[in-house]
Amino acid sequence: MKPTKPQPKPPSQSRKHICLAFESEVKYSAIVADAGKFRAHLDQAWREHPEIFPRAFGGGFRFHDHYRSRKQEGLVLRRIELKENGAIFTVRPSFVMPYLIGRTEEIEKALYLRQWGVPFEALAYVFGRDAMYWYRAWLTLGRANLVGTTVKDAERMPEHLIADEKITWLDKAEVVVPTTVGGGCVLGISLAESENGAALHTAYGEFAAEAAAVFPDYQPKSVCTDGWAATREAWRTLFSGITLVLCFLHSILKIRDRCRGEMRRNVLERAWKVYQATSKTSFAQRARRLKEWAKEQLTGATAEAVVKLCDRARAFMVAYDCPGAARTSNAVDRVLNLVDRQLYAMRYFHRSPQSAKLAVRAMAMQWNFHPYGKRLRHNQSERSSPFADLNGFQYHENWLQNFLIASSMGGFRL
């Protein structure tokens, strides 16, 4: 009896996937069936975007085997073996999702609605399947390296960052979401059980570790934070020599909450005039004058808040020594407001900390790759998404396929 030929194992579900764009599924089927055409397509894609390929790809490769998907009937995937180190990678087209759970075109519109917190039950009602299917498909967005997926060139890695935390709940217990933003994109987001120094150091340390895994020499120049001591100490410990800029907006908001009507308008106008100073000397002078005015004209909590702002002048002024540094937390606040709206729609977290962390990472990835609305595109036709703004290009016009290609090899540089 003739022995049966052993079947090749399914492709790995980790970092050993190279995701490439193909014009259509029909063309992919024609190319994957012809070894010569497939090799030519890989070589062309590598010349255009080497960052989504393994570093050893330039040393050549040989075809290892092919695999016919059981989940996606008729879909054939090829695997290649690198000559330099013998590593094996699966080449996956961007029109199928990771783990081959479905075609991108079948899933893209449903996941697009997650930006507004549309419940998974509603997605199941409109698009079919069940709520858990859409929940798992959405969590898939959060599995890749956040820095490596978002930033494709070391020179594009933002040197000036903004960091802040958002309070939320996990099984009715209060937790915080430490978030790092730079260049208009979320570069780090995690979950911490408390706002103490150790918890925040671990949470922000995840960003530092992900950045080091992709860009080992990365060293940010500045980070803008609020006045929370644990946050500032965490950044000072993680990146030696980093400039800590105190967020001016947080002081403004405290003043705003302590006065009303014409008094509020007058006080805020004077405070923002301090912020608009063009030099350290001018800033210090305006802060002194504002403090003198506050002591003479204001009383109670309003006077206290204004004086406190003026007393912190040195912490604000360090931004003048670091051109390009953010002076307010607006960039991270926009992200955290979106996260808060989605969490409210979900009634916050009800599962394990691991799934909660994947969820906030999925929100971050969707922020980075979400397509801008038609109005913005009409006024600024070259802008398409935060990812494209930061990198100066995009891999695919469809936001989800753009993300899948960017997350090739899990966002790492193997």
What is the pLDDT at residue 375? 73
pLDDT of residue 11: 40
Sequence-distant (≥ 6) Cβ neighbours of residue 311 within 8 angstroms:
291
The confidence score (pLDDT) of residue 12 equals 42
Model confidence pLDDT, tens digit, residues 68-126: 988 888 899 999 999 999 999 999 999 999 999 999 999 999 999 999 999 999 999 99
- 187, burial (CB in 10 Å: exposed 0-12, middle 13-18, buried 19+): buried
Element at 43 (helix H, strand E): helix 35-48
11-67 pLDDT, tens digit each = 444 689 999 999 889 999 999 999 999 999 999 999 999 999 999 999 999 999 998
Mean pLDDT for the chain? 93
Indicate whether 314 pLDDT > 50: yes
Residues 6+ apart with CB under 8 A from 27: none
Spatial separation of the C-alpha atoms in residues 124 and 134, rounded to whole Å: 7
- pLDDT band at 257; cut points 50, 70, 90: very high
If you ran DSSP here, which 8-state letter would residue 397 be given?
A: S
323-359 residue pLDDT tens: 999 999 999 999 999 999 999 999 999 878 999 999 9
| pLDDT at residue 1, as a whole number | 46
For residue 10, the Cα-to-chain-centroid distance in whole angstroms is: 30
Domain ranges in the chain? Answer: 17-100, 154-353
Contact 225, 163 (CB under 8 A): yes
Which residue in this structure is represented by tokens 């009937």?
73
Band of pLDDT at residue 5, cut at 50, 70 and 90? very low
Where residue 382 falls among pLDDT bands split at 50, 70, 90?
confident
| H-assigned helices in 130-259 | 131-139, 146-150, 197-214, 229-238, 248-256
pLDDT-based confidence at residue 380 (cuts at 50, 70, 90): low
pLDDT, position 383: 82
Mean pLDDT of 263-280: 96
pLDDT value at residue 373: 85
160-212 per-position pLDDT tens digit = 999 999 999 999 899 999 999 999 999 999 999 999 999 999 999 999 999 99
Q: 391: pLDDT confidence band, cut at 50, 70 and 90?
A: very high
Using an 8 Å Cβ cutoff, are 11 and 90 in contact?
yes
* CA–CA–CA angle 292, 245, 370 (5° rounding): 125
Bridge partners, residue 72, by sequence: none
Q: How far apart are the C-alpha atoms of 399 and 276, rounded to whole Å?
A: 38
pLDDT at 381 over 90: no
Q: How far apart are the first and last CA of the chain?
A: 44
Residue written as tokens 């005015």? 293
What CA–CA distance (Å, rounded) separates 161 from 57?
A: 33
Share of residues in the chain with pLDDT > 70 (%): 95
d(CA 342, CA 18): 31
Distance, CA of 39 to CA of 53 (rounded, Å): 14
Q: How many CB atoms lie within 10 A of CB 52?
A: 22
